[in-house]
Structure 1
Amino acid sequence: MEKILVSACLMGRRVRYDGGAKTSSAAVLAGWREEGRLVPFCPEVEGGLPIPRPAAEIERGAGGAAVLEGTARVLAADGTDVTREFLAGARLALEAARAAGARLAVLKEGSPSCGALAVYDGAFQGRRVPGQGVTTALLERHGIRVFSEDQLAEAAGYLRTLET
Structure 2
Amino acid sequence: MQKILVSACLLGERVRYDGGDCRQSGLLKQWQDEGRLIPICPEVAGGLPVPRPPAEIVTGDSDAVLCGCGVVQRQSGEDVTDAFVDGAELALAQCMRHHIKLAVLKEGSPSCGVSYVNDGTFSGVKIKGEGITARLLKRHGIRVFSEFEVDKLKLR
TM interval, short-chain normalised: over 0.9
Distance 2:18 2:75 in 1: 12
List runs of 5+ in structure 2 lacking aligned partners.
none
Distance 1:65 1:153 in 2: 28
Question: What corresponds to 1:107 in structure 2?
Answer: 105
Distance 1:110 1:99 in 2: 26
Shift of 1:145: 0.8
Distance 1:80 1:23 in 2: 29
Distance 1:105 1:38 in 2: 9
What does the per-residue CA deviation read over 1:104-157, in whole Å, with 9 as the maximum and x for residues that have no partner? Answer: 100000000000000100000010111100001110111111100011111x23
2:127 is equivalent to residue 120 of structure 1: no
Question: What corresponds to 1:88 in structure 2?
Answer: 86
Question: What corresponds to 2:5 in structure 1?
Answer: 5
TM-score by length of 2: 0.96
- Asked if structure 2 preserves the Cα contact closer than 8 Å seen for 1:63 and 1:119, the reply is no
Distance 1:65 1:149 in 2: 22
Identity %: 55
- Asked if structure 2 preserves the Cα contact closer than 8 Å seen for 1:140 and 1:146, the reply is yes
Helix, strand or coil: the match of 1:110?
coil
Letter in 2 for 1:12: G
2:72 is equivalent to residue 74 of structure 1: yes
Higher relative helix content: 1
Shift of 1:71: 2.1
Matched residue pairs, number? 156
> Match for 1:133 among 131, 134, 153?
131
Question: What corresponds to 2:21 in structure 1?
Answer: 21
Distance 1:98 1:142 in 2: 10
List runs of 5+ in structure 1 lacking aligned partners.
none
Shift of 1:98: 1.2
Distance 2:105 2:6 in 1: 6
**Displaced runs of 4 or more, over 2 A:** none
